[in-house]
Amino acid sequence: MDRRQKKTRKAVFEAFTSLLEVKSYSNISVQEIIDAANIGRSTFYAHFETKDELLRAMCTEIFEHVFSDDLHEESTHDFSSRKKDIVGEITHILYHLNDSRPYIKSILSCESGEMFMRYFKEYLVQLFSGELVKHNSDVPREYMLNHMVCDFAETVRWWMKHEQYSAEDVSRFFFASTPF
């Protein structure tokens, strides 16, 4: 990727996060982002079709880090001990989420948070559906999956607002309140 493109992209992301700290997503106009990023109007539209797509791009970048390859490899390499080690995997993800905390916090602060949550849950469905082989037959499997996904996603949203807790703390809270 061209250096110029990278630079523009970075400027837009930073402008956007700064604005999100000050005002809500729907009250931010594309023009404001452009001004804050100090770029030309046509340049913005060369990179992102809409404001929504900009947000999606930011979320994607975050999640690529949070659910990064080293995590996958790690969990697939020692596959033997994996099944039991969902706790470790969750804690690991929490660590990664903590790295992106400033970005995530600004996104979560308003309506854009709901989009973040939606994308986040897409990843979590994949993560948890493997864990549901032995599910309680009293309750539909699809209910349980939705339950776990929402549960974890909301746990993360809560954590972002409560900095005083560590990844281990939150992992413990999560497993203490969900029937694994």
Contact of residue 39 among DNA, a copy of itself, none (CB under 5-8 Å per partner type): DNA
Contact 33, 8 (CB under 8 A): no
Contact 125, 146 (CB under 8 A): no
**Nearest to DNA of 25, 120 (CB atom):** 25
| Binding characters for a copy of itself, 75-114, by CB under 8 A (x = yes) | ------------------------------------x--x
Q: What share of the chain is helix, strand, coil (3-state, %, to 5)?
A: 80, 0, 20
Member of 22, 45, 158, 180 binding DNA (CB under 7 A):
45
> Quick one: DSSP state of residue 85?
G
Closest CA to 38 of 2, 3, 1, 12: 12
> Quick one: DSSP state of residue 38?
T
> Quick one: which segment of 39-47, 53-61, 74-82, 132-140 binds a copy of itself (CB under 8 A)?
132-140
Contact 132, 126 (CB under 8 A): no
Give dist(CA 114, CA 11) in Å, integer.
24
**Nearest to a copy of itself of 71, 153 (CB atom):** 153
Give dist(CA 126, CA 101) in Å, integer.
22
Member of 18, 50, 60, 81 binding DNA (CB under 7 A):
50
Member of 45, 53, 126, 158 binding a copy of itself (CB under 8 A):
158
**Nearest to DNA of 41, 83 (CB atom):** 41
Member of 43, 98, 109, 146 binding a copy of itself (CB under 8 A):
146
Give dist(CA 110, CA 115) in Å, integer.
10
Contact residues for a copy of itself, defined by CB under 8 A: 111, 114, 136, 138-140, 142-144, 146-147, 150-151, 154-155, 158, 162, 165, 172-173, 176-179
Contact residues for DNA, defined by CB under 7 A: 2-5, 7-8, 29-31, 38-43, 45-47, 49-51
